[in-house]
Structure formats: structure tokens, C-alpha cells
Structure 1
């Protein structure tokens, strides 16, 4: 039994270290693919399920100054640019700035078109509402990716993580 436990612990540490080493990279690229894909299909009228509500949202937020026929290609380019930035890992700060700014706009239909985004507010979103709410995952992913732009990384070493946590708690109690 001890050999099985030792084997499991060794395998678990190996897998955990692999995840710590590659998780942010995989997250960045996969979120980049989502943004690029969703942005790219907006270049082709009728392909994106979010096209209509996105166009109306931008039109409403701009007080009618920016019509959907102009805003959708701009949004398509914006999302595609976010995707390319995440996929390549270049210009991370600018890419994440664009991502977070875009996410603000993406959440607006929940507030400005509640009849279309909620069956029963606030417990039963429509399909459009669900599409918007899932963006919390993209925002969270952006935060994780953002935590690495200055060289931060995930740590799989339990002792090192505990040491970092103690340092953080000490700094929080003694800010000077």
C-alpha cells in the first residue's frame, strides 16, 4: 500500500508541476483562439450569434452615433486583435487592456436590454444572457494572464507557495 501511495504522490507532483509550468500558456492561447474566432466570424454578416445584440449595444452606448454597420467590423477587428495578442503573447498589457475594455461593453446588454437577456431576473438568463454571463470566465482568465505580465508564474512547490503566502501576509500587516 505504501508503494501505491508513493507512486500516486510522485505522479501527482509531476502532473501538478506540468500544470503549473504550462497552464497559463495554454490558458492564454485558448482564450486567444476564442477571441480570434468570435471576432473573425463577425467580419461575415449573419455568422455570429452575438452580431445583432452587439451592434445594438454599441449603437445604444454611443447614443445612436455609431451604427451597427460600422461598429461590427470595428468590434470584429478589436476581438481578432485581442485573440492574436493572446495567441502570440506579444503586447500583453495592451491586449489585456483591450480585453477588459471589451468585456465592459460585452456585459452592458444585461443592463440595457434586460428583457432580452433574462427570462426571470436575476435567476434565469436567456441564451443571450448566458452568452454574456460566461464572460466572467474570460475576465477571470484575463486576470490570471495579467498576473504574469511582469514575470509572475504559477508555483507547484508547496513549501515555496507557503513561504510566498507568509511574505504576502506580512506585507499586508506591515505596509511600510
Structure 2
């Protein structure tokens, strides 16, 4: 029994160490991964026939821009936008601009759900096509962008190390808002 308790203590120490590392590095890693995703998918769109969403993205961009961008110019527009977002995220420069561009791009990326619902959810079961699934996964990118955007005003993850055993039955902690108290003038 003592060996089992000892193993648990070692695991608890490892778990706490990993958590400290995640607190220190996870937002940076999230930003870099987001940058790679946007840069990679954006780059693919510059080459006709490679992106699996090319036709839908072209039709959507043409609709949303009222024909200003159509055909391959529509894909070049989306590709350029996604590459700019990727570079902003990877470099950490102009990050605020990159997140706003991402918000703009996500409106466009999600709009086929409203513009082409019959095509994305066909048949009697309305099961999502692969294109619909490709679009729906963007909610994860939106959430990740919100986390990155929260750092503009100095938000940070703060480690409050607790043992694994003490967290097993507790709920996930919420956001703690610290307010600076100001001294009232008399």
C-alpha cells in the first residue's frame, strides 16, 4: 500500500510540474499553433485545386463581396487574409490587428452555414457533409482567438498549485478578477 501511495505522490509531483509548465507556455504555444494553421491553410488557397474547400470558399467570398472578388481572385483574397493573420500570430507583432482580421475572416468562414445550408446538411438526416464539418471546427479557432485576444489587456494564466487529490472533486476554476482598490479621498 505504501508503494501505491509513493507512486501517487510521484505522479502528483509530475502533474504539478507539467501544470506549471503549461501555465508558463500554453498561450504562446496556442498563438504559434494558430499562426501555423492560418499560414498553412492560407498558403494552400493560393494554388488552384489544392484546398478541399476551394469551391465553397470562392462562392462564399463572391457572395459576401457582392462580386468584387470572384473566381481565383476570391481565393487569393482569402489566402492573403489568412496568411496575414498567420504571420501576425506567429510573430506576435500586430497581434491585435491579426485577431480583428481573424474575427472578420471567421464571419466569412462561418457564413456558408447560412448561405448554403441545404448543401452542407443534405438529405433526410441533415447530417453535416465534410465541408460542413470543416466549417464547424472553426468554433475552436474562434475560442482560441478569444483566449489570445484576452492577453491584450494583460490577462495571464496564474498558477495556483494544488495537489491532484484536492482537485478530483472540485469544479474547474473560473476567472478571477482582481480589482485594484483605490483609496477614497476624504
TM-score relative to the length of structure 2: 0.81
1:165 aligned partner: 176
Provide the C-alpha distance between the structure 2 equivalents of 1:165 and 1:155, rounded to a whole number of angstroms.
Answer: 10
Provide the C-alpha distance between the structure 2 equivalents of 1:69 and 1:122, rounded to a whole number of angstroms.
Answer: 33
1:88 aligned partner: 91
Q: C-alpha displacement at 1:150, in angstroms?
A: 2.5
User: Is structure 2 residue 65 aligned with structure 1 residue 62?
Assistant: yes
Structure 1 unaligned blocks of 5 or more:
169-176
Greater helix content: 1
| Conserved? CA contact 1:116–1:128, under 8 Å | no
2:146 aligned partner: 143
TM-score relative to the length of structure 1: 0.85
Q: C-alpha displacement at 1:149, in angstroms?
A: 2.1
Provide the C-alpha distance between the structure 1 equivalents of 2:125 and 2:92, rounded to a whole number of angstroms.
Answer: 37
CA RMSD, 1 decimal: 2.4
Structure 2 unaligned blocks of 5 or more:
163-172, 180-186
**TM-superposition CA deviations, 1:31-53 (whole Å, max 9, x none):** 11010011001111111111111
1:172 aligned partner: none
Larger radius of gyration: 2
Seen in structure 2, the aligned counterparts of structure 1 residues 122 and 94 have a Cα distance that, compared at 3 Å, is farther
Q: C-alpha displacement at 1:58, in angstroms?
A: 1.2
State how many pairs are aligned.
Answer: 167
2:40 aligned partner: 37
Q: C-alpha displacement at 1:64, in angstroms?
A: 2.8
Q: C-alpha displacement at 1:133, in angstroms?
A: 0.1
User: Is structure 2 residue 73 aligned with structure 1 residue 73?
Assistant: no
